[in-house]
Amino acid sequence: MLLGRSITLGPLVPEDFGPMFCWANDAAAARLDFAYRPVDMMAHQQWWDNIGKDTSKVVFAMRKIDAPVIIGYVQITGINPTHRSAELGIRIGAESDRDQGFGKESLRLAIDFCWNHLNLNRVQLVVFRHNRRAIRAYEAAGFRKEGVLRKAAFIGGEWVDLVPMAILRSAVKRRPGQREAQPPHALHAAAATLAAQDLQPSAA
């Protein structure tokens, strides 16, 4: 589990199935994320059952630090160990839980997870140009715009622009005392050197 000041990111539990099914069918919220199409129970069940089997995906449940109820989720998808890249998506279910800083904190925790546990070098996403709230949150987390895809999606009866954004590991300032994680072959070499000196390798 990843612990923040006001929220946690952790595994999904059976009680999360219902709220996530409702969010997937929220037509009003969908206009900020994707073209709305109803999701039936069988399709949702299939997605749910596949979460733990797909090694290219990690899904975290977002919860308030003092409450067990899910308020949203973070998806890291398309994890590519060769290119050390992945795509990031975040969803907060209820409007009352938005603009509370939960999204920004979840982004920070998820990005740290990408660097320190998945050993990624690049995390990317695509956001609708009119979703200014999300763009501000992504920019605050360190994402940078990489252009505009004009009229690339048809949402709610109109064409909208898409904004690709990404954050690179090399562009992130490490906190004092935090060491940059190394690729596996570098870790093995470092471990061998330390072992020869009768020292234990520190965690990256």
- pLDDT interval class at 86 (50, 70, 90): very high
- pLDDT interval class at 194 (50, 70, 90): very low
**What's the pTM?**
0.78
* pLDDT tens string 49-81: 988 889 999 999 999 998 899 999 999 999 999
Spans of all domains in the chain: 2-172, 177-204
Of 109 and 173, the one with more pLDDT? 109
User: What backbone torsions phi and psi does residue 95 show, to the nearest 5 degrees?
Assistant: -60, -35
At the top level of CATH, the class of 2-172 is alpha beta
- Lowest mean pLDDT of 103-107, 113-117, 195-199, name the range: 195-199
Could you report how far apart the first and last alpha carbons of the chain are, in Å? 18
Contact 102, 94 (CB under 8 A): no
* pLDDT tens string 147-160: 999 999 898 888 99
Per-residue buried b or exposed e for 20-39, using 16+ beta carbons within 10 Å of the residue's own CB: bbebbeeeebbbebeebeee
> What's the confidence (pLDDT) of residue 7?
94
- pLDDT interval class at 97 (50, 70, 90): confident
Spatial separation of the C-alpha atoms in residues 32 and 105, rounded to whole Å: 20
Residue whose tokens read 């895809």: 149
> What's the confidence (pLDDT) of residue 24?
86
